[in-house]
A and B are shown apart, each in its own frame.
Chain A
């Protein structure tokens, strides 16, 4: 072994020994400072390298990011549309579940569910159009309800649609029954969409909050369908009858699905009415 190679071997052994001692923790503080410095240096170099790499590869990444962004936006739009659809379905399901509960609790009647698809083009009238007609055994005069209460009755029918006169229509009148007062009255609609009770006898005591049901008199509607509640009462001594304003049980501005009572046949009592001479 010549002197040069001996020198190299000694240097390697010394450096290796120092390194082994340092890694073994024999140098303590000096070793920690060295390693911290080494790590900081490595971090600095790597950060600068990453910055440089980003700079070099940026154009390609922007295109890819834009593409990814567009894809994600499309996906978000699609998911939002799905969410809206699901919310609609949930709403429909809730309404249908309520209607099913209602039909189960009133098993004496048979029902046909229908969606509201339009309203009368004239603002003077309060009619809705439903998507069930004579093909679904819907007939003129059948009462229409929701789980909340009475909506109206079928006014005209074609094969796949029908027109329903709401109880709020100014030409509508329903024979009603005040449950607490045990008396009959007549419910009228109006052009404003409000409903009111008239022909209440002066002898009976009616309170705000009293429940109003259909009486079944006249044969136009079955008995005991909920109409609403008395809100205010107007009693004047010089008048023959009392009047009351009514809060309808049904929200007529948000009618979506209704039930037609298909086993009810209205009775036409016109021939029995007395003819004035």
Chain B
């Protein structure tokens, strides 16, 4: 039942992304806070609702953004998938797993955005996209990933409290 917090939390995160995080930019790139939240949540050991959270994030972000919603659906679901795979492989080094998910996830999201927008006829020079958007966004995502991971770990303890055996 505590999973319902996904709705207010992700709603707030999308508002923060639109009003605050998008103003803190490095060159033309900025961090993707909903993606960081989804990745950090999917990496938590006890969490079983990562797919649901990704769906809620897609709903909110797709509503506010003019990027085709299919990018968010494929992107966020894909990131949860990557996180779930890595969680089983490198579970002993959670921060390493977080960095790996953020690195691959950012590249995946940007590649997807670039591909879909190019297909829709928007002229996007790949060198500009790589140097002015993707690399700065990657750096900012990496910077934000540590505090976000810590917050989501604490939240996972609250949503999924440890069961006490009698």
Contacts and interface: CB of A to CB of B under 8 A. Distances in A.
B124 A121 contact: no
Contacts of A117: 18-19
Interface stretch (A77-85, A163-171, A206-214): A163-171
A186 interface: no
Interface residues on B, range: 20 to 34
Q: Which of B25, B122, B133 has the most CB of A within 10 A?
A: B122
Contacts of A192: 28, 128, 132
Nearest to A117: B19
A153 to B, nearest CB: 12
B114 interface: yes
A122 interface: yes
A129 B14 CA distance: 13
A190 B123 CA distance: 8
A165 B66 contact: yes
Interface string B52-89: 00000000010011110000000000000000000000
B3 interface: no
B66 A127 contact: yes
A123 B131 CA distance: 13
A117 to B, nearest CB: 6
A136 interface: no
B128 A124 contact: no
Interface string A232-270: 000000000000000000000000000000000000000
B6 interface: no
A121 B18 contact: yes
Contacts of B66: 120, 122, 125, 127, 155-156, 163, 165
A122 B18 contact: no
Chain A interface main SS type: loop
Interface size class of A (residues with CB under 8 A): 20 to 34
Interface in A113-151: 117-125, 127, 129
B138 to A, nearest CB: 11
B18 A119 contact: yes
Q: Is the interface of B mostly helix, strand, loop or mixed?
A: helix
Contacts of A124: 67, 110, 113-114, 117, 124, 129, 133
B133 A123 contact: yes
A57 to B, nearest CB: 51
B17 interface: yes
A166 B145 CA distance: 30
B28 A191 contact: yes
A122 B66 CA distance: 8
Contacts of A188: 123
Interface string A85-129: 000000000000000000000000000000001111111110101
Q: 6 nearest interchain CB pairs?
A: A118-B18, A119-B22, A122-B67, A118-B19, A171-B122, A121-B17
Given A124-B113, A124-B114, 19 more contacts: A117-B18, A119-B18, A120-B64, A121-B32, A121-B67, A122-B66, A122-B67, A122-B113, A124-B67, A124-B129, A129-B64, A155-B66, A156-B66, A165-B66, A170-B124, A191-B124, A191-B125, A191-B132, A192-B132
Interface of B: 14-15, 17-19, 22-23, 25, 28-30, 32, 34, 61, 64-67, 110, 113-114, 117, 120-125, 128-129, 132-133, 137
30 contacts: A118-B22, A118-B64, A119-B18, A120-B22, A120-B64, A121-B14, A121-B22, A121-B32, A121-B64, A121-B65, A122-B67, A122-B113, A123-B25, A123-B29, A123-B133, A124-B67, A124-B114, A124-B124, A125-B67, A129-B18, A155-B66, A156-B66, A163-B66, A165-B66, A171-B121, A188-B123, A190-B123, A191-B132, A191-B133, A192-B132
Interface of A: 117-125, 127, 129, 155-156, 163, 165, 170-171, 188, 190-193
